[in-house]
Amino acid sequence: MNVEDATIQVLPTGTVNQIAAGEVVERPASVVKELVENAVDAGAGLVRVEVTSDRRQVTVVRVVDDGVGMGRADAVLAFKEHATSKIREIEDLDRLHTLGFRGEALASIASVAEVTLVTKPRGRGVLVGTRVQVRGGTEPEVSEVGAPEGTSVEVKDLFFNTPARRKFLKTLHTELAHIHGVVEKTALAHPEVAFRLFHNGRERIATYAADDLRETAGALFGTDLTRALVQVGGGNRFVRVGGFVARPSHTRADQYQIFLSVNGRPVYSAGLVRAIKEGYGTLLPANRFPVAFLALTTEDGLVDANVHPTKRQVRFTHEREVYEAVTGAVRTALHGEDLLVGEQEAEVFTPAPHAPASLPPRTSSPAVPCPGVGESLAHYAKSDRRLRQTQLPLAGAERNRLPEVTVLGQVDATYIVGSTGGRTLVLIDQHAAHERILYEQVQAKQAGGQKTQELIVPVLITFSPAEVELAREALPVLAEEGFVVEEFGPSTFAVSAIPVVLGKLEEPEVIRDLVSALVREGPSDPVGRREAITRRVACRGAIKGGDPLTHEQMQRLVEQLAHTKNPYTCPHGRPTVILFSPDEMAAMFRRT
């Protein structure tokens, strides 16, 4: 055969690497992913990701770790294609405990960018570190440098020699979002490692080495979410399932808050997502996705990570059994929880997060507290004072939107039970109903202009040092709304008068709440501000769920509700009244 005639050519290594890079290095986020994985594999306790961008694109990615580091020979070999310290033979894939194994990431990245690696082995008393620089797959430049133990890799000019690839880069915003995603996923797959992400010097993510996935989730997404998490634990012969899922009160429209890892590798799997949803069963509304942080662990040899070049997908040898274990573990976790109580409490009373929760925690049924006589008298008196604030019927408001209700009684010190015309059963949420009444009353008064009423005893409010400045700035706004507030001490302010619309709402606690909320929320537009005040007054001034009411008080409340313009919802849009017609009751008892 004449070689001269051949049209087939074996590609030079550089070109091979550039082609391979197409699979592994799709975008700046892929660089972050590969470097972060190497850092985790190197046993780092802290991984620091620094991203630099100009206004259009990511310009530099740098990942610094305190892992095992490398000696000079390894540092050079690391850039060779198919050079890896993680496997020796194909069987090693079955007992893989590292994220990497293909030995192509550094070679691929260096073929399409300029990479500078600085490293020094950990704990071996080596004095100098090694610096290796490769640009576009050319010969590495190697030198000695002073360096801390561990490794840092800096990547710049990504795709400088592959303009076609460069064109496909999305907007800066999208790239940054992908990078965030990579760091979040890796951090959640490795709660034992601390991660920090910086963009142009500003810290964006900080997780701390934790032994619990919930802590990492909290560092990433806030404690509001973590409070809703339920621990999952279970499994079978093939897999162990651990982690957390959120109560059904915290669902999402998409599946981006389902984080899965298999043996420490963050993965995506439509099958596992389905298995989790299955575990929720009917607790999950249609078209909604749960929030989940699950870590799966298998025995060696039961999972294949070599399915996809970026290793985002895995294959299980016993797929069905793994799915069953996940469904079962999620189901068990959710059914062990008193989900409804948790949700209801969160819904009914949500004190502003900064305000001290002045409401006593609501004791839920069936253990209805039966107050002693003295206590109940005090209760009735307080409810009476609150109810007296309301002076409906409003002039001109017709009483025809709510049918006439005969009050039968109260259940759980929260709901008024009545009937209309002796035929329809009526349930009224006393707090929501009173909120509606107060809201409309305050609105009507506001329409008549702001007037101020003096308080007999001024109410003192102490702010934190950070808030004092805000409070000073808010003084004119407060004055506009009818409050008279003056500085009283270094961090104390005195409220000596309040808007007339607050009526007899003289409880210091309520006034304190209102003013602090106004100060903290800052001056918004006057209309929005007034609306916020109105709602807050209505909410704080209204009788609560858990307040026992006398028959007469209930009757008065229902009467006033009938005179509102919108008797059926509270200012937050929740129902105030629920009616059960004879037909509905018959259907419930299957009489039809």
162's contact among ligand ADP, Mg ion, none, with CB below 5 to 8 A by partner kind, is none
- Name residues contacting ligand ADP, limited to 321-380 (CB under 6 A): none
Let me know: does 39 contact 151? Beta carbons within 8 Å.
yes
Please calculate the CA angle 396-401-405 and round it to the nearest 5 degrees. 115
CB of 153 to Mg ion, least distance (A): 11
Determine, following the binding rule CB under 5 A, whether residue 67 of this chain makes contact with Mg ion: no
List, in order, residues 6 or more apart from 204 with CB less than 8 Å away.
Answer: 180, 197, 198
Query: Is beta strand 46-53 parallel, antiparallel or unpaired with respect to 194-199?
Result: parallel
Quick one: 1 or 73, whose CB is closer to ligand ADP? Answer: 73
Quick one: 84 or 207, whose CB is closer to ligand ADP? Answer: 84
Residue of closest CB approach to ligand ADP = 100
Nearest to 301, CA basis, from 314, 290, 285: 314
- Name residues contacting ligand ADP, limited to 107-126 (CB under 6 A): 107
List, in order, residues 6 or more apart from 97 with CB less than 8 Å away.
Answer: 263, 264
d(CA 34, CA 438): 59
Report how many residues bind ligand ADP under the rule CB under 6 A: 23
- What would the DSSP string read from start to end of 17-83? HHHHHHHH-SSHHHHHHHHHHHHHHTT-SEEEEEEEE-SSSEEEEEEEE-S----HHHHHHTTSTT-
Single out the segment in contact with ligand ADP by CB under 6 A; choices: 82-90, 235-243, 434-442, 513-521. Answer: 82-90
Determine, following the binding rule CB under 6 A, whether residue 397 of this chain makes contact with ligand ADP: no
Token digits of residue 102: 């293909």
CA-based end-to-end distance of the chain = 91
Quick one: 30 or 364, whose CB is closer to Mg ion? Answer: 30
CB of 71 to Mg ion, least distance (A): 18
Let me know: does 553 contact 384? Beta carbons within 8 Å.
yes
Out of 27, 48, 102, 180, the residue judged to bind ligand ADP by CB under 6 A: 102
The DSSP element (H or E) to which 196 belongs, if any, is strand 194-199
Determine, following the binding rule CB under 5 A, whether residue 264 of this chain makes contact with Mg ion: no
Any idea which residue has 């298999």 for tokens?
Answer: 262
Name the phi and psi angles at 396, rounded to 5.
90, -15
CB of 63 to ligand ADP, least distance (A): 7
Single out the segment in contact with Mg ion by CB under 5 A; choices: 101-109, 228-236, 382-390, 424-432. Answer: 101-109
Single out the segment in contact with ligand ADP by CB under 6 A; choices: 80-88, 172-180, 219-227, 418-426. Answer: 80-88
Out of 28, 67, 100, 499, the residue judged to bind Mg ion by CB under 5 A: 100
Out of 105, 241, 330, 542, the residue judged to bind Mg ion by CB under 5 A: 105
d(CA 475, CA 506): 20
Provide the residue count of the chain. Answer: 592
Single out the segment in contact with ligand ADP by CB under 6 A; choices: 3-11, 103-111, 217-225, 469-477. Answer: 103-111
Determine, following the binding rule CB under 6 A, whether residue 103 of this chain makes contact with ligand ADP: yes
d(CA 247, CA 292): 10
Quick one: 148 or 309, whose CB is closer to Mg ion? Answer: 309
Quick one: 36 or 260, whose CB is closer to ligand ADP? Answer: 36
Determine, following the binding rule CB under 6 A, whether residue 151 of this chain makes contact with ligand ADP: yes
- What would the DSSP string read from start to end of 547-564? ----HHHHHHHHHHHHTS
CB of 162 to ligand ADP, least distance (A): 19
Determine, following the binding rule CB under 5 A, whether residue 47 of this chain makes contact with Mg ion: no
Quick one: 100 or 571, whose CB is closer to Mg ion? Answer: 100
86's contact among ligand ADP, Mg ion, none, with CB below 5 to 8 A by partner kind, is ligand ADP
- What would the DSSP string read from start to end of 484-508? EEEE-SSSEEEEEEEEGGGTT---H
148's contact among Mg ion, ligand ADP, none, with CB below 5 to 8 A by partner kind, is none
Number of H helices, E strands in the chain: 18, 22
3-class DSSP state for residue 573? coil
Which amino acid appears at position 522 of this protein?
G
Nearest to 571, CA basis, from 548, 540, 549, 527: 540
Quick one: 85 or 116, whose CB is closer to ligand ADP? Answer: 85
Quick one: 34 or 114, whose CB is closer to Mg ion? Answer: 34
Quick one: 67 or 218, whose CB is closer to ligand ADP? Answer: 67
List, in order, residues 6 or more apart from 148 with CB less than 8 Å away.
Answer: 66, 120, 129
Out of 51, 78, 510, 515, the residue judged to bind ligand ADP by CB under 6 A: 78
Determine, following the binding rule CB under 6 A, whether residue 229 of this chain makes contact with ligand ADP: no
Determine, following the binding rule CB under 6 A, whether residue 234 of this chain makes contact with ligand ADP: no
Out of 100, 242, 458, 499, the residue judged to bind ligand ADP by CB under 6 A: 100
Beta bridge partners of 118: 131, 152
42's contact among Mg ion, ligand ADP, none, with CB below 5 to 8 A by partner kind, is ligand ADP
Let me know: does 438 contact 446? Beta carbons within 8 Å.
no
Single out the segment in contact with ligand ADP by CB under 6 A; choices: 36-44, 319-327, 492-500, 575-583. Answer: 36-44
Determine, following the binding rule CB under 5 A, whether residue 39 of this chain makes contact with Mg ion: no
CB of 156 to ligand ADP, least distance (A): 17
Residue of closest CB approach to Mg ion = 100
Name the phi and psi angles at 321, rounded to 5.
-65, -35
The DSSP element (H or E) to which 388 belongs, if any, is helix 373-388
3-class DSSP state for residue 361? coil
Quick one: 100 or 150, whose CB is closer to Mg ion? Answer: 100
Single out the segment in contact with ligand ADP by CB under 6 A; choices: 3-11, 83-91, 504-512, 553-561. Answer: 83-91
Token digits of residue 289: 């996705």
Could you list the residues that contact Mg ion (CB under 5 A)? 38, 100, 105
Could you list the residues that contact ligand ADP (CB under 6 A)? 34, 38-39, 42, 65, 67-70, 78, 83-86, 100-107, 151
